[in-house]
Amino acid sequence: MRYSETELIICVAARLMEDKKTAFIGTGIPMLAAALAQKLYAPNLVCVFEFGGTGARLEKLPLGVGDSRTFYKGIAASGICDIMETAQRGFIEYGFLGGAQIDQYGNLNTTVIGEYERPKVRLPGSGGANDVGSHCWKTIIIMRQHDKKRFVKKLDFMTTPGYLDGKDGREKAGLPPNTGPYRVISNLGLFGFDEETKRMKVISVHPGSSIEKIIENTDFELIIPEKVEITPEPTDEELRVLREEVDKDRLYI
């Protein structure tokens, strides 16, 4: 193929970003997606980084959320407490998250695999993920590998709330209303959530994938609408900008 799975995920994520909106950006794919969006789709996207950079122009790719490039030509340089308070006040519209496990309601595990006291794997933990998932209006979750070990019926540990047990679970838990997971992007497809039940549903199938392959690699029952689109492939312009301007040193792609 003329593009990789990672490049497809980046392009799909970039297309989801809206102009003149705020977005909480994490290390890796979200940075590339935000940079691509600024160059092609959302020139006035306000990128917000955990360590205080707000409104940076991503002309050079940062290596982390505390990199000096996350402040470049920004509108504010504050700190982590200010940024988290900004999210709590409802001023950050989009948030990007990832995880080792996700369930049908968009809850995420980034803490342990196995029992908490004696885990098979000890993961990095929450960082700012719980804050992002709790307070941003719409969260976009990136799962680079889609299989039954990652798309699970029951999390080994809930690090970040999605829709908890579905329906109005978030509101009952005291989280802000009308917030929560918006989209999930994996290497097999693009997913959303049912408005009433809050269960995960298929929106589009990536080229080379299929509904059957998605079902085979998911440990819970997905909602599958009658009409499922095929995800548009990355355009030549998206790939050119991504490879020649956003990540010309191939640090991530």
* Residues identified as active-site: 50
Query: Does residue 201 contact residue 190 with C-beta atoms inside 8 Å?
Result: no
Measured distance CA(201)–CA(224) in Å, rounded: 6
**Contacts with 46 (C-beta within 8 Å, 6 or more apart), sequence order:** 20, 21, 22, 23, 54, 55, 75
Strands 112-114 and 119-122: antiparallel
CA dihedral 96, 102, 105, 108 (to 10 degrees): -60
Q: Please state the φ and ψ torsions of residue 7, each to the nearest 5 degrees.
A: -65, -40
Helix residue ranges per DSSP H, 17-168:
29-40, 80-88, 129-135
- Extract the tokens encoding 228: 């499922």
Spatial strand order in the sheet of 181-186:
76-77, 53-54, 46-48, 22-24, 94-98, 138-143, 181-186, 189-193, 200-205, 229-230
Instruction: State the Cα–Cα distance between residues 233 and 59, nearest whole angstrom.
Output: 24
Contacting residues for 118 by C-beta, under 8 A, at least 6 apart = none
For 148, which DSSP code?
A: T
